[in-house]
Amino acid sequence: MTSYRIEIDRSICSGFGACEELAPHFFEVAPDGIAATRAAVTDDPGVLEAADACPMGAITVVEVIEEAA
């Protein structure tokens, strides 16, 4: 199974909210106007589209490769 780790560079986020609009289960614009994650790791590939939609490029999604036991 593929998992994705979500990272947000809060120093360049401008709080447009595109991520929250596309993947509200994983992103929210916090009261300070900067995006935050609701979950740091997910197996939902929808986070990739949300990251691509960020106009500031503040979201990085890293594929976590799980080794077989």
**In the structure encoding, which two tokens stand for residue 20, read together?**
């929250």
**In the structure encoding, which two tokens stand for residue 35, read together?**
């995006």
**In the structure encoding, which two tokens stand for residue 6, read together?**
């979500």
Q: What is the pLDDT of residues 11-29, one digit of tens each?
A: 999 999 999 999 999 999 9
What does the mean pLDDT of the chain come to? 92
CA distance 14 to 4: 23
Q: What is the pLDDT of residues 37-63, one digit of tens each?
A: 998 899 998 999 999 999 999 999 999
For residues 40 and 5, the answer to whether their CB atoms sit within 8 Å is yes
Q: What spatial distance separates the first Cα and last Cα of the chain, rounded to whole Å?
A: 12
Domain extent, residue 20, equals 2-65
CATH of the domain at 6: 3.30.70.20
Q: What is the CA radius of gyration of the chain?
A: 12
Q: Global pTM?
A: 0.85
Count of structural domains within the chain: 1
